[in-house]
C-alpha cells in the first residue's frame, strides 16, 4: 500500500535532549513537509523540501532541523533549543508543482 509512515506514534523526551522523528513515503512524491499542530491552532509549517538534498525553513523552523538524503525519507530533529516542543507533528508529501498534500498519521511528542 502506498502511503506515508511516521514513527514512533508517541515519543517522550527529557528536557535538554534532541529527538528525531521519522517520516518515510513510498508515493514517489518529490516534495515533503513537516507541520506542527497545537490545540486551537492551525497546522504550522516547520520545514519543507521540494527535492533531495534541498530544504527550506517554514514559519516556525527555530529549534528544529531536517535532512533530505533520500527521496523517500525526511526526518525531523527536535533540538534542545526548541522552547516548547510538546505537540503533534505531521509529515506530508505532494507531487512537485501540486499543493495537494497527503499526510502521515502523526507523532505525538511530549517533554517530561
Partner 1 sequence: EDQVTQSPEALRLQEGESSSLNCSYTVSGLRGLFWYRQDPGKGPEFLFTLYSAGEEKEKERLKATLTKKESFLHITAPKPEDSATYLCAVPPYNTDKLIFGTGTRLQVFP
Footprint on this chain of partner 1 (rule: CB under 8 A): 4, 6, 31, 33, 35, 40-45, 48, 50, 58, 88, 90, 92, 94, 96-106, 108
Q: Give me the least distance between CB of 43 and partner 1, in Å please.
A: 4
Q: Give me the least distance between CB of 85 and partner 1, in Å please.
A: 18
CA distance 66 to 74: 7
CA distance 18 to 48: 20
CA distance 60 to 1: 32
Q: Give me the least distance between CB of 103 and partner 1, in Å please.
A: 4
Does residue 1 sit in helix, strand or coil? coil
Closer residue to partner 1 in complex, CB, 95/111? 95
Amino acid at each position: 500500500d502506498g502511503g506515508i509512515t511516521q514513527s514512533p506514534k508517541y515519543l517522550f523526551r527529557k528536557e535538554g535532549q534532541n529527538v528525531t522523528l521519522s517520516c518515510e513515503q513510498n508515493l514517489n512524491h518529490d516534495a515533503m513537509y513537516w507541520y506542527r499542530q497545537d490545540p486551537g491552532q492551525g497546522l504550522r509549517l516547520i520545514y519543507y523540501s521540494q527535492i533531495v538534498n534541498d530544504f527550506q525553513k517554514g514559519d516556525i523552523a527555530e529549534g528544529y532541523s531536517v535532512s533530505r538524503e533520500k527521496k523517500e525519507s525526511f526526518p525531523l530533529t527536535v533540538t534542545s533549543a526548541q522552547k516548547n516542543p510538546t505537540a503533534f507533528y505531521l509529515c506530508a508529501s505532494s507531487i512537485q508543482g501540486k499543493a495537494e498534500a497527503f499526510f502521515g498519521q502523526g507523532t505525538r511528542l511530549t517533554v517530561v
